[in-house]
Copies of this chain bind each other. A is one copy, B any other.
């Protein structure tokens, strides 16, 4: 069997940055060529970034993407990289009839292009469009109906002139039955390459490996899965690119949350010389017929270049569950700050665990000198609020200042007669205003420190502690906040470093400190009990009967469900933050604010 070296470029694209992404494509192709690869594969929609959302519907942007794709093909050739086959995702459009939902011609495509010899050799588009969870692809794209099979000289390991056939599928095409995987099998391709922009969620890496192995066996082909890395608004892409043999054996795997070139030598079946270029129809086994579009890349391979000096990359080790989540949060913060042109962040430090963890994530993402923290004690703040916050500042070397909220609170209370919740919210809003004022004055991005349990139950103040531009732990339940904090401290200790988070912030009972002696447990169930209900209600969408059947206390479950339902208006105005669970508060969960639906108690 001919042997071919391929490379997967799991690189951090930026949405809308056509020039910047094209520059990355050239630079990483150069690295791939230097490593002796015949073929380098970039992620889904790499040239535009992903997801572009409604930019897919703007004609000027689609045209620019198509032009950028041709331009980068020419640029590769001009830089001596025309001999390596480059497969990249981009945004294209189909001229033709109206699509199935009646949209006019020129419908957008989530496309892939094969670049070689200075030109776009063949293109295709995603066939299966995800339209659930965070995905709205029926809104943005029409389905593709072509599977390209390109033949290229393997160039090494086998006899001269031996060639292999490579098919292309895109992201969701791998997750659904039928379509490009079935067609790849019918076409007899030796390798299926799959560009992806697959957002991270907890535990998804395990699912992905199993999926790649299963689909490789179904297609009867080796499978190379390349995923984007980096943050984009609420999504974090984790990389985790995978190469498996046709029998499912894992051959190479990329790191998580890091850019990398995954290089692998594949023994592939030789292409059948009796099968030539051209289009043939194929039953996609999903009720549609697709076109197999065979092309042959011209020319013999160039000399194997620096091949001997560059080793294939290994299977990077997997991160543990907590490290993986923590890395996703750090990546989300780093990229939101950087890609939006900020250099620093600011947040309030209460001495509690939420702000402590948020500050630690930010310091890991940006460096402690770019993390500005403000201590804003009030009349109800306990002594440990200040000492724990100061301890954290000392441990990490953050840029800290103290602003007393008393004069501002007094000024409001002198003119407005506020009681109970209104008085509590006032303190929280004064803090939010101080942070926003300092953000405006000094150009920091305000980080919001609320966790998912608070966001779920509405245990936060609109324009108070919910104020800010990015919310790093909004998809992290309180129990997970504690677990991540403990893990981060233990990881530091294991490296011989100072644990960054004051142990007292982790162990003390949580309190919003907005009234005398207040504890979270005055208003909310204990967090382990609360979070278990929240995971079943929010992430698993269980109704009340299912919650009770799952063992939750009926009265407590009813109360929690009611809190969650009533807080929808607050969540609608919450800043974005990185998704790490199967269902975040954001694009994943879209409920009306106005509703009178109340989950009925069973029986």
Which A residues contact B (CB, under 8 angstroms)? 14-18, 20, 49, 51-55, 57-61, 63-64, 100-103, 128-132, 136, 138-139, 175-177, 231-233, 287, 335-336, 339-340, 403-404, 407-408, 410-412, 414-419, 421-422, 425-426, 429-430, 432-434, 436-438, 440-441, 462-463, 467, 469, 541-546, 569, 572-576, 589-600
Which of A335, A422, A433, A434 has the most chain B CB atoms closer than 10 A to its own CB?
A: A433
Q: Which residues of B contact A102 (CB under 8 A)?
A: 128, 175-177
Closest 8 CB pairs of A and B: A60-B543, A16-B597, A422-B440, A16-B595, A411-B411, A17-B596, A422-B441, A138-B138
Is B541 in contact with A590, judged by CB distance below 8 angstroms? Answer: no
Is A441 in contact with B418, judged by CB distance below 8 angstroms? Answer: yes
Which of the residues B49, B52, B440 comes within 8 Å of A425, measured between beta carbons?
A: B440
What residue of chain B has the Cβ atom nearest to residue A336's Cβ? B594
Is A437 in contact with B412, judged by CB distance below 8 angstroms? Answer: yes
Between A and B, 27 residue pairs with Cβ closer than 8 Å are A15-B592, A16-B592, A17-B597, A18-B597, A59-B541, A60-B543, A60-B546, A60-B599, A60-B600, A101-B130, A101-B132, A102-B176, A131-B139, A136-B139, A336-B594, A403-B415, A407-B414, A408-B411, A416-B437, A418-B437, A429-B437, A433-B463, A462-B467, A572-B575, A572-B576, A573-B574, A573-B575
Q: Which residues of B contact A432 (CB under 8 A)?
A: 463
Q: Which residues of B contact A414 (CB under 8 A)?
A: 407
A433 touching B429 in the complex, CB below 8 Å, given contacts A592-B232, A594-B15, A596-B339: yes
What residue of chain B has the Cβ atom nearest to residue A48's Cβ? B597
Q: Which residues of B contact A232 (CB under 8 A)?
A: 592, 594
A233 touching B594 in the complex, CB below 8 Å, given contacts A102-B128, A425-B436: yes
Q: Which residues of B contact A14 (CB under 8 A)?
A: 594-596
Is B54 in contact with A590, judged by CB distance below 8 angstroms? Answer: yes
Which of A55, A100, A403 has the most chain B CB atoms closer than 10 A to its own CB?
A: A100
Q: Which residues of B contact A542 (CB under 8 A)?
A: 60
Q: Which residues of B contact A17 (CB under 8 A)?
A: 596-597
A575 and B63 CA atoms in complex are apart in Å by 34
Which of A64, A131, A467 has the most chain B CB atoms closer than 10 A to its own CB?
A: A131
A101 touching B131 in the complex, CB below 8 Å, given contacts A403-B415, A418-B437, A440-B425: yes
Q: Which residues of B contact A425 (CB under 8 A)?
A: 436-437, 440
Is A595 in contact with B15, judged by CB distance below 8 angstroms? Answer: yes
A55 touching B139 in the complex, CB below 8 Å, given contacts A60-B545, A421-B440, A436-B462: no
What residue of chain B has the Cβ atom nearest to residue A545's Cβ? B60
New A-B pairs, 11, CB < 8 Å, besides A64-B600, A422-B437: A15-B594, A16-B596, A20-B596, A49-B595, A59-B541, A101-B131, A101-B132, A335-B594, A411-B411, A429-B436, A436-B462
Q: Which residues of B contact A15 (CB under 8 A)?
A: 592, 594-597
A590 touching B543 in the complex, CB below 8 Å, given contacts A422-B437, A426-B433, A469-B569: no
Minimum CB–CB distance for A365 against chain B, Å: 15
Is A412 in contact with B433, judged by CB distance below 8 angstroms? Answer: yes
Q: Which residues of B contact A594 (CB under 8 A)?
A: 14-15, 231-233, 335-336, 339-340
Is A55 in contact with B16, judged by CB distance below 8 angstroms? Answer: no
Minimum CB–CB distance for A381 against chain B, Å: 16
A59 and B542 CA atoms in complex are apart in Å by 8
Minimum CB–CB distance for A533 against chain B, Å: 15
A287 and B98 CA atoms in complex are apart in Å by 13
What residue of chain B has the Cβ atom nearest to residue A446's Cβ? B462
Minimum CB–CB distance for A446 against chain B, Å: 9
Which of the residues B52, B59, B335 comes within 8 Å of A543, measured between beta carbons?
A: B59
Q: Which residues of B contact A438 (CB under 8 A)?
A: 416
Q: Which residues of B contact A463 (CB under 8 A)?
A: 432-433, 436, 463, 467
Q: Which residues of B contact A59 (CB under 8 A)?
A: 541, 543, 546
Minimum CB–CB distance for A13 against chain B, Å: 10
Minimum CB–CB distance for A399 against chain B, Å: 16
Is A541 in contact with B416, judged by CB distance below 8 angstroms? Answer: no
Is B175 in contact with A589, judged by CB distance below 8 angstroms? Answer: no
Minimum CB–CB distance for A7 against chain B, Å: 26
Q: Which residues of B contact A597 (CB under 8 A)?
A: 15-18, 52, 55, 61
Is A407 in contact with B415, judged by CB distance below 8 angstroms? Answer: yes
Q: Which residues of B contact A415 (CB under 8 A)?
A: 403-404, 407-408
Is A403 in contact with B429, judged by CB distance below 8 angstroms? Answer: no
Minimum CB–CB distance for A286 against chain B, Å: 8
A541 touching B403 in the complex, CB below 8 Å, given contacts A411-B411, A418-B437, A592-B53: no
Is A54 in contact with B412, judged by CB distance below 8 angstroms? Answer: no
Q: Which residues of B contact A569 (CB under 8 A)?
A: 340, 469, 575
What residue of chain B has the Cβ atom nearest to residue A570's Cβ? B469
What residue of chain B has the Cβ atom nearest to residue A442's Cβ? B422
Minimum CB–CB distance for A20 against chain B, Å: 7
What residue of chain B has the Cβ atom nearest to residue A543's Cβ? B60
A70 and B41 CA atoms in complex are apart in Å by 55
Q: Which residues of B contact A52 (CB under 8 A)?
A: 592, 595, 597
Q: Which residues of B contact A598 (CB under 8 A)?
A: 16
A411 and B409 CA atoms in complex are apart in Å by 9
A574 and B574 CA atoms in complex are apart in Å by 9
A16 and B128 CA atoms in complex are apart in Å by 32
